[in-house]
Chains A and B, each alone.
Chain A
Amino acid sequence: GAGVSQTPSNKVTEKGKYVELRCDPISGHTALYWYRQSLGQGPEFLIYFQGTGAADDSGLPNDRFFAVRPEGSVSTLKIQRTERGDSAVYLCASSLTGGDRVTGELFFGEGSRLTVL
């Protein structure tokens, strides 16, 4: 696609529910990143994929968070038993390069705003 696409753009859910957020990166980009951004803060790293594998998942806050990228393109961030503190904008980015580190320009989607009531 022309850019990184994220769906849904907004999600309101109740505490304890399960949520999936989807990211469709730029075609051909092998590196994919998930970040979380709270109001007035910079993005917080969650997980980085190189191809189908999670190269670095050290930013996932706990085992309620999980992400997959089964075919090396679209990725899904999954949050179980959501809590109010999970409310944030979840940003996805892709990069043509990547490898073992961020070496190239990152292209971001517009984010998925999650609100947990």
Chain B
Amino acid sequence: KQEVTQIPAALSVPEGENLVLNCSFTDSAIYNLQWFRQDPGKGLTSLLLIQSSQREQTSGRLNASLDKSSGRSTLYIAASQPGDSATYLCAVDSNYQLIWGAGTKLIIKP
């Protein structure tokens, strides 16, 4: 059974720092992996989607990598801003369903 873990559960850093969020999954047979952002009381916004054949995807200050063999993905955020404060969730498409991590709550301090 696929399980997705995100560590740390919460992270607080000063504005301007580069940071890395981690996502690990137990079954490497995935179709794709997505990173989402969730603001308090809001729905989820898709940030990046990495197909299983890809190693990374980039969008602006965000870069997501995927290493299927080790069951890991990272989301790199460059030059963090207070507006980046949110909960970041990863989800893997595994066995025809999206399996989600519990998220990392990120706080960027001005």
B residues near A, CB below 8 A? 4, 31-32, 34, 36, 41-46, 49, 89, 91, 93, 96-103
Contacts and interface: CB of A to CB of B under 8 A. Distances in A.
Contacts of B96: 56, 100-102
A106 B92 CA distance: 12
Contacts of B98: 33, 43, 45, 102, 106
B31 A42 contact: no
Nearest to B48: A105
Contacts, number: 61
Contacts of B42: 110-111
A49 interface: no
A17 B6 CA distance: 36
Chain B contact surface mostly: strand
Given A42-B102, A42-B103, A101-B93, A4 B43 contact: yes
B42 to A, nearest CB: 5
Nearest to A105: B46
B97 A111 contact: no
A109 interface: yes
B43 A42 contact: no
A110 to B, nearest CB: 4
B43 A109 contact: yes
B89 A42 contact: yes
A101 B32 CA distance: 10
Contact of A42 (B4, B41, B45, B46): B4
Contacts of B93: 101-103
Contacts of B102: 40-42
A8 interface: no
Contact of A43 (B46, B49, B100): B100
